[in-house]
Amino acid sequence: MKRLYEVNFLVKLVAAFLVMAAAWLVASPWPAVLIAALVVLLLCVTRVPGLGGYLKGAAILVAMVLVTWSINLGLQGQPLAEALPTAVRMAARLVATTAAFFFVMETSTPGSILAAASAARFPPMATLVLSLVFGIIPMLREEFLRIADAQRARGMEIDGVPFHTRLRYALARGIPLLVQSIRMAQAISTALAVNGFDAATKRTTWRQVGLLVEPRLPLNEVRKP
């Protein structure tokens, strides 16, 4: 199933848009729930990195949508039997959408995105923007975890403490995360500049790109100059 990770980023992106459109276009709640369940099943079967975190977030999202929509519609005079299916449909739409794009984001490396966009002869600036939008979020998440590890390695007890303390420490990571985000943006811009990135020149790629994007160079099969 890991071969699904290698599917061309643009194909995954189109598929995610189609899933989102289907979830939002269906009129009744249960087909939307079915779509959401199928996408979450896909995440589980393919063991997408960060799945545990996503499922926690999705569970909180579902609970919040069900409660707030039911209350809101109830205050507007709808009986619970009518309000609840509407809330379920909305929660399912959101889960289907976020899960589909989570799959795209977590299974596409910035390199594979650059390759797919370069092979499609996208303008260099569009290639760059796509790569950054989808590539930087996992990088920031890893940076957040890395800062937590740095805090642990310096002796800050962030594991065996009550939830509110853990939350406070997590919020305290905001400042170093901001500093690192700025550095990361600077590193990306510097890397592009010193490697001769030029918005006027269309990029090529070392990867074979088709329905799948080659994840590594088969050194034995390449003819050396």
Partner 1 sequence: MLAIEDLVVAYQGQDVLHGISLQVEPGCGALVCGAGASGKSTLLATACGVVPRLVNAERVTGRLQLGERDFAEIKRAELFSRVGIVFQNLDDQLFDLEVEDVVAAPLENRGVPRAEIRARLAELFEELAIQDLGGRRVLTLSGGERRMAVLAGALAARPELLVLDEPTTGLDPAARLRLERSLSAVRDRIPLILAADQDAASLAGAMGRIHLLQAGQLAGSWPTAEALALRTPWLEAGLLPPRRQERPVRAGAAAGGRVLLAVEGLRTRLTRPNGEPVLHDVTLELRAGEVTGLVGRNGAGKSTLIQTVLGLAPLAAGRIVIEGEPAERWTAARRARRVGYLPQNMRRMLFNLSVLDEIAFSVGGSTATIGDPEIRARAARALAPFGLADKAEASPFALSAREQALLGLACLDAAGCAVAILDEPLLARDRQGRAMLDLFLRRSHEAGRAVLLISHDLELIDDLCPRLLILADGRIAADGPTEGGWASPAFQALGWPAPEAPWRIAS
Task: Tell me which residues touch partner 1 (CB under 8 A).
Answer: 109-111, 114-115, 118, 135, 138-139, 142, 146-147, 149-160, 169, 172-173, 175-176, 179, 183-184, 186-198, 200-208, 215-217, 219, 222-225
Q: How far apart are CA 86 and CA 94, in angstroms?
A: 13
> Counting beta carbons within 10 angstroms of the beta carbon of residue 88, is it exposed (0 to 12), middle (13 to 18) or buried (19 or more)?
buried
Tokens 């199933």 belong to residue: 1
Query: Nearest-CA neighbor of 96 among 42, 28, 27?
Result: 42
In whole angstroms, how close is the CB of 54 to partner 1 at the nearest point?
Answer: 19
Bridge partners of 212? 7
In whole angstroms, how close is the CB of 110 to partner 1 at the nearest point?
Answer: 6
Structure-token pair, residue 38: 């199928």
Rg (CA), the chain: 21
The smaller minimum CB distance to partner 1, of residues 11 and 188, is found at: 188
**Helical H segments across 26-50, by residue range:** 29-45
The smaller minimum CB distance to partner 1, of residues 63 and 156, is found at: 156
In whole angstroms, how close is the CB of 217 to partner 1 at the nearest point?
Answer: 5
The smaller minimum CB distance to partner 1, of residues 85 and 215, is found at: 215
The smaller minimum CB distance to partner 1, of residues 21 and 121, is found at: 121
In whole angstroms, how close is the CB of 88 to partner 1 at the nearest point?
Answer: 37
